[in-house]
Amino acid sequence: MKRERHTMDEIFRWPLLLAGLILVGLASALFGDDGWDALSWAALAIPLAVLGWKASRRPHLPGS
């Protein structure tokens, strides 16, 4: 069975995007008020939603 090779960009694109959202959420919660609080809730909720979505999916088994 031949494995598909992935570039570094393909491997780290989503983890880096989620890390960026987390940093924006934490910084806006720490340094801002009112609208910044809403931004922090949204920025911190998105990675949690992605995690929940991925955890709820059926695991992919190689060869099936």
pLDDT, residue 59, reads: 75
Which single residue is written with the structure tokens 């393909």?
Answer: 10
pLDDT, residue 63, reads: 63
pLDDT, residue 61, reads: 67
pLDDT, residue 43, reads: 95
Torsion sign (Cα): 19, 28, 47, 21: negative
Q: Are 12 and 20 in contact (CB under 8 A)?
A: no
Predicted confidence (pLDDT) per residue in 12-64, tens digit: 999 999 999 999 999 999 998 889 999 999 999 999 999 999 889 877 667 65
Q: Are 28 and 43 in contact (CB under 8 A)?
A: yes
